[in-house]
Structure 1
Amino acid sequence: MDKSAKIYIAGHKGMVGSAIVRQLQERGYTNLVLKTSTELDLRVQAQVQSFFEAEKPEYVFLAAAKVGGIEANNTYRAEFLYDNLMIQTNVIHQSYIHGVQKLLFLASSCIYPKFAPQPIKETSLLTGTLEETNEPYAIAKIAGVKMCENYNRQYGCNFISVMPTNLYGPNDNYDLESAHVLPALLRKFHEAKLKGDASVGAWGTGEPKREFLHVDDLAKACLHLMNTYEGNVSVNIGTGKDISIKELALLIKEIVGFTGEINWKTAKPDGTPRKLLDVSLIHSLGWEHKIELEEGIRRVYRETFLN
């Protein structure tokens, strides 16, 4: 991408989109197109069509999505399916209609089968049953990956997609009704410490294992792929390392300085037992993560709760 190229970042207010904006600005890209959801509702086809006709972006980062943790995914199943299908369908199709040079679509590692062999290779997509609690979101994201692939095949587009692992970082969601596990635990431990509570509740058994990537590393990976990669394989982006939820909770407890107990609510669902990505492909393409988990959590805690 030329430094003066017109680049649209869909979802620039979210954790991923804002990290991509920061990375672009740090590298000297100056012609960024940014629209809030109140200015442009990506679920509405007519609005997206008018936007592309007026702005004619050359490159698109599609980071806009409705996201949430297990409870939100399981409660608002229809919304997660409809909103994500509409957002990505409108943006991908109008990118084709208006001749966008390249588009990068953010999928998610949760779209892999629940019991995929570990670490999960890109070829595991559509080889087994999905995790039931987030199936609607996963189906929507799979459709986005397949749209990119098949617009490439039929229309000769240059649309790529990526599969990030679990993310954390600046502008994360800390709403306990919809947050993912890492930010939810950060907030719970911090508030419990301030109140002097004796214990903190955590969902499930703590046994499932998860991989976590700082969103600044993800943004760097996305720019690297936008500038170097072409193909129909949706590229895994992660660290290649995982940790149990119980170990994560103990790490966050130590970082925050909470001295009470952890009360595991074992009647709550655990979700997928393990989800570790095989990152050999992106390593072969010249990218590796830089921010290790403890360093990243300490940074996020300091920036979000102590400033």
Structure 2
Amino acid sequence: MNHPLSPDTRLYIAGHRGLVGSALWRHFRSRGFTELIGRSSDELDLRDSTATARFFAETRPEVVVCAAALVGGIVANDSKPVDFLSDNLRIQLNLIDSAVSNGVRRLLFLGSSCVYPRDAEQPIVEEALLSGPLEATNQAYAVAKIAGITQITGIRRQLSLPYISAMPTNVFGPGDNFDPAAGHVVPAMIQRFHRALVAGDRSVTCWGSGRPRREFLYADDLADACHFLLDNYDDRVAINVGTGAEVSIEELARIVARIVGYTGEIRWDTSKPDGTPRKRLDTRRLDSLGWHARTSLESGLRNTYEWFLANTDEARVGGATRAGLPAEGDAPTFKGRHG
């Protein structure tokens, strides 16, 4: 498939005020798209099937990107599995069912790299899906995302619609959740080191051992990849989106500390869980289509910290967050977790 979206496409970005959704909104606006559709949580509760169906019938989007989800860091995922499973299943079913019922011609469902087995061979190929046990701390979230991917595959087989899924690696960037206790690893570290710098603390304690290795993707790069996939990808395989590079959590902490300007001691609380030991995606499928991430980890981290400094009063410090759900509609969407 190679049918680029036209600037007048009626494009609905579900979760448009979240981390990924807001990056998608910036991306398409900057490229001249004039018919973008978005709703805040006050306007639309995506867990409500009747409200979601009515919204689709009224707005008639042609293309949909599903970037709405209940998300949180490793502790939130581990402590509230019912919420992460139930809310995300309802969001996905309502979005995708309404899209089918209302003639949406193209849909991109965003999964997560946590759908892969905990001990998958590295780098992780798309075919590793459902090949082994999941990481226990975020199993509920992963199962929900696997259900969404399965629904897209079923729609392609049963209804022959060109809907697709993508599995991004850990995403970070402007608009993330900067709570040091409940946020994803990058924004939580930024907040933690920034507070220590301001307070003059001699040490900062980070969670876990620092040994797990992760791959990080800047949110604006993911938005660019989503546009590229909508224009160029049409396959039942849920395609990986990543950078191909990885760092240990300890290395990440040192980079963040340097960017923030913190020079004190970094300690590790090994009573906190590490999550999956290693998680790097095999991106050869996407590479072969001609897309590559443009933003280096350090550049992305600097951009994110600059955004945080410029938006300190608005930076979210909640726990588990929802994109497109009541009272949480301005929260970051999924990914970027240390789990």
**Residue of 231, 235, 250 corresponding to 1:231:** 235
TM-score normalized by structure 2? Answer: 0.89
**Residue of 225, 237, 243 corresponding to 2:247:** 243
1:260 equivalent in structure 2 = 264
- Rounded Cα–Cα distance in structure 2 between residues aligned with 1:158 and 1:36: 27
Listed one character per residue, the Cα deviations across residues 175-196 of structure 1 (whole Å, up to 9, x for unaligned) are 2332111110011000100000
Query: Residue 202 of structure 1 aligns to a residue in which SS?
Result: strand
Residue correspondence of structure 1 range 179-198 to structure 2 within 5 A? 179-198=183-202
Q: Is the 8 A contact 1:10 1:34 kept in 2?
A: yes
Listed one character per residue, the Cα deviations across residues 165-208 of structure 1 (whole Å, up to 9, x for unaligned) are 00111111112332111110011000100000111111110000
**Residue of 210, 235, 251 corresponding to 1:206:** 210
1:139 equivalent in structure 2 = 143
| Same amino acid, percent of matched pairs | 50
- Rounded Cα–Cα distance in structure 1 between residues aligned with 2:44 and 2:237: 30
RMSD: 0.9
1:67 equivalent in structure 2 = 71
1:85 equivalent in structure 2 = 89
In the alignment, structure 1 residue 160 sits paired with structure 2 residue 164 = yes
State the structure with bigger RCO (CA 8 A, min sep 6), 1 or 2: 2
**Residue of 86, 109, 112 corresponding to 1:108:** 112
Listed one character per residue, the Cα deviations across residues 204-229 of structure 1 (whole Å, up to 9, x for unaligned) are 10000000010000000000000111
Query: Residue 206 of structure 2 aligns to a residue in which SS?
Result: strand
Q: Is the 8 A contact 1:6 1:58 kept in 2?
A: yes
- Rounded Cα–Cα distance in structure 2 between residues aligned with 1:58 and 1:291: 30
**Closer/same/farther in 2, CA of residues 54 and 306 from structure 1, 3 Å limit:** closer
Counterpart AA for 1:76: K
TM-score normalized by structure 1? Answer: 0.99
Where does the alignment leave 5 or more consecutive residues of structure 1 unmatched?
none
1:287 equivalent in structure 2 = 291
Counterpart AA for 1:264: W
1:97 equivalent in structure 2 = 101
Deviation, structure 1 residue 144: 0.3
1:126 equivalent in structure 2 = 130
**Closer/same/farther in 2, CA of residues 153 and 143 from structure 1, 3 Å limit:** same
Q: Is the 8 A contact 1:212 1:239 kept in 2?
A: yes
Deviation, structure 1 residue 263: 1.7
1:58 equivalent in structure 2 = 62
Counterpart AA for 2:212: P
Counterpart AA for 1:77: P
Counterpart AA for 1:228: N
Q: Is the 8 A contact 2:72 2:183 kept in 1?
A: yes
1:171 equivalent in structure 2 = 175
Counterpart AA for 1:145: I
Query: Residue 167 of structure 1 aligns to a residue in which SS?
Result: strand
1:305 equivalent in structure 2 = 309
2:222 equivalent in structure 1 = 218
Query: Residue 171 of structure 2 aligns to a residue in which SS?
Result: strand
Q: Is the 8 A contact 2:174 2:303 kept in 1?
A: no
Q: Is the 8 A contact 2:108 2:165 kept in 1?
A: yes
Query: Residue 299 of structure 1 aligns to a residue in which SS?
Result: helix
- Rounded Cα–Cα distance in structure 2 between residues aligned with 1:299 and 1:7: 27
Count of aligned positions: 307
Q: Is the 8 A contact 1:72 1:177 kept in 2?
A: no
- Rounded Cα–Cα distance in structure 2 between residues aligned with 1:57 and 1:288: 28
